[in-house]
Structure 1
């Protein structure tokens, strides 16, 4: 019941400045997230005398490290909107969500995202923005090659062969470079019927299904020269996306941001659900970024009141539409699914309902993700064994998990 107390609006009872550090979702100064937050803060302050919201926005390259430095130096912000929360929760530095938000706001989160925000069954991470993945394909290249979008792995291989024969630089772009290798890896593991963890949350990186998936990638795509001139372990997502926007890629896994990039450069693209061995993959990868509130400054009621405002349907929709992201609340998702202006996001929105999220509630995930980035490219390269690489990462993950 503690969360319901914040709904009474006691935030104006004393003068206070709340510090928020947030990530930048814009791709230029014109659409920087700083503009979004400044507008939202001004609207909130207008109706909440005595409360000031001070927001600093940093690039994704810097924001996590910036918050870590502030916390390590004893100057934690009141709130941080960054990529991970579990380490801070495990260290006892965060307010539980139930101590901050009113009941309707808590209940409005999409259930799988709220669950991903929990450590030891208590929610500390508030999902802030989400996205899912679909298979993007270049309609012109597919038409020129006389092929249709794949629904199975065999069809994907056949399409890639036809694209290669037609001179396409990257028939299928497989970015297993350090930038976001953990994402492409999870997409393919889900496509093959497994993932990073089992039903009880233990790592299953070298499961039979995952090894079979990477054997197929190694032998049937990479080994047959269907992934382009750059070794997958050296191909970053940003490079693959840029190549798609130039018309050099036949197909690749992508999120909504790629729609804007492709449209800007006149690439006519389509999207389809991810294929699996025998048909559409049972689930796709979902990604969520996180809001958290630090206890250090003691502004629980004021922080809670502001966050109830942040997560209103209007504000969640406005942010999602500005940056081609998916809403993290039921109310905003329902509004988006019925709005014609959001039609291009509907396929991604549909995938969110059965998506699976990184195991972000595990404090070991940060080190496991780093190990995947470092090593997974070798699982599809040269004379290495995919099973041996996955086994090595699994052993490191099990050790990290035991140390949690």
Structure 2
């Protein structure tokens, strides 16, 4: 699940903490995300506070508690407190990291290298050991800052375009392989009662960054220079206005793009969403769906799928860095069976370790396999400098360009200046 999704998708989960000591799960006294001090149970010399965002897939919370229980059986001197954080997880973790209440281990979606540059997360090269070569290139590159590894990727999330086969066939439409075809299909599938395409309630979703990538552009260079102000980026962003002018986009649905309800309930025949949603889509539609990358903007461009996911990190300023590293290494490097369980038992995700991904039976065939292949061929991830300040600046400009609010070149140039200022702050320039 993407970071944006975690801020929106909270279906009734309680906010709270559970302590696992010597393999026993003990509830804390308060229903709160505030850390609770003290090791639980006899024999535990250290208590690790481990934060997770509130995953939307049923069973995920129970799974991470099982993993913590298994860890404490193997390491009875270390208790693990699992803190399940609903709501604006990114905001809460960033704020808490500035205090003494920061967790020892935490996950983050879409890795931000500023955490490493500020000294907030520990380098984990020693945690990888010989297993480093078993992690896919995307997973390693995404957490590398100045040659060091600052996180261990837990899951790769693949985001792509879903379509209803029968709806397109009935309308005589071939699954779109170019942006022109996507615009035409969305328009043709739009009726008085329904829209042809759902990208997100804001009418943008991931389409801004997809547009840039699909026309051969980039977001930020490895050297930290903003690149989304290029002519090809501007051209593709201006193209998004066609979808708005045609009024073919679904806006303001009851849930956002991360939830497949708009597709499964027949509200739209095409929707941008993630691999995690595929089990629910298959339950609702059977085999009446397919997946596609975001199409190339024009000849010379390239199809795109976004690869996000979640990464486990260690608080460099915590009191229990050694124990925290041991937990991360045990769970996300050594326990291939648990990594496989986490990836394919509660929604679908791609294990970042190639050997684990190869053994994931549910991802080895059918449409799930197609999605994995799309990620291998066309996957793009955010640059490490793409934090909330930079992405919000870009998205604000992209929305205005797509909706025809102002001169596109001016809007994008202003966004480039603001984003560059933010990146310069990250890099201490």
Structure 1 pair 131/75, CA: closer, same or farther in 2 (3 Å)? same
Structure 1 pair 125/298, CA: closer, same or farther in 2 (3 Å)? same
* Counterpart pick for 1:275 among 288, 295, 315: 295
How far apart, CA to CA, are the structure 2 residues paired with 1:236 and 1:374? 21
How far apart, CA to CA, are the structure 2 residues paired with 1:114 and 1:402? 24
> When the two structures are superposed, what TM-score results if normalisation uses the length of structure 2?
0.79
User: What is the CA distance between 1:239 and its match in structure 2?
Assistant: 8.5
How far apart, CA to CA, are the structure 2 residues paired with 1:47 and 1:245? 43
2:306 matched to which residue of 1? 285
How far apart, CA to CA, are the structure 2 residues paired with 1:272 and 1:280? 16
* Counterpart pick for 2:124 among 91, 94, 97: 97
Q: Find the residue that maps to 2:182 and give its secondary structure.
A: helix
User: What is the CA distance between 1:282 and its match in structure 2?
Assistant: 4.3
1:352 matched to which residue of 2? 375
> When the two structures are superposed, what TM-score results if normalisation uses the length of structure 1?
0.83
Number of residue pairs aligned between Structure 1 and Structure 2:
377
User: What is the CA distance between 1:343 and its match in structure 2?
Assistant: 4.0
Instruction: Check the 8 A contact 1:133/1:285 in 2, yes or no.
Output: yes
1:223 matched to which residue of 2? 245
Q: Is it true that 1:245 corresponds to 2:264 in the alignment?
A: yes
Instruction: Check the 8 A contact 1:172/1:249 in 2, yes or no.
Output: yes
Structure 1 pair 326/208, CA: closer, same or farther in 2 (3 Å)? same
Q: Find the residue that maps to 1:151 and give its secondary structure.
A: coil
Question: C-alpha offsets along residues 84-127 of structure 1, whole Å, 9 cap, x if unaligned?
Answer: 4533322212210114x141233322122211112233221222
Structure 1 pair 302/381, CA: closer, same or farther in 2 (3 Å)? same
Q: Is it true that 1:19 corresponds to 2:49 in the alignment?
A: yes
Question: C-alpha offsets along residues 9-59 of structure 1, whole Å, 9 cap, x if unaligned?
Answer: xxxx972221111112234xx42x321111011112112221222111112
2:274 matched to which residue of 1? 255
User: What is the CA distance between 1:313 and its match in structure 2?
Assistant: 1.7
Question: C-alpha offsets along residues 244-292 of structure 1, whole Å, 9 cap, x if unaligned?
Answer: 2221213232211332443454473211233212388344221122211
1:152 matched to which residue of 2? 178
How far apart, CA to CA, are the structure 1 residues paired with 2:102 and 2:405? 48
Structure 1 pair 64/325, CA: closer, same or farther in 2 (3 Å)? same
* Counterpart pick for 1:57 among 84, 87, 102: 84
Q: Find the residue that maps to 1:249 and give its secondary structure.
A: coil
1:132 matched to which residue of 2? 158
Moved more, 90-99 or 274-283: 274-283
What's the RMSD between the two structures over aligned residues?
2.8
Q: Find the residue that maps to 1:196 and give its secondary structure.
A: coil
Gaps of 5+ in 1: 1-12
2:104 matched to which residue of 1? 78
1:9 matched to which residue of 2? none
Gaps of 5+ in 2: 1-42
Please show how residues 33-44 of structure 1 align to structure 2 within 5 Å: 33-44=60-71
User: What is the CA distance between 1:212 and its match in structure 2?
Assistant: 1.0
Structure 1 pair 81/199, CA: closer, same or farther in 2 (3 Å)? closer
Structure 1 pair 380/245, CA: closer, same or farther in 2 (3 Å)? same
Q: Find the residue that maps to 1:18 and give its secondary structure.
A: strand
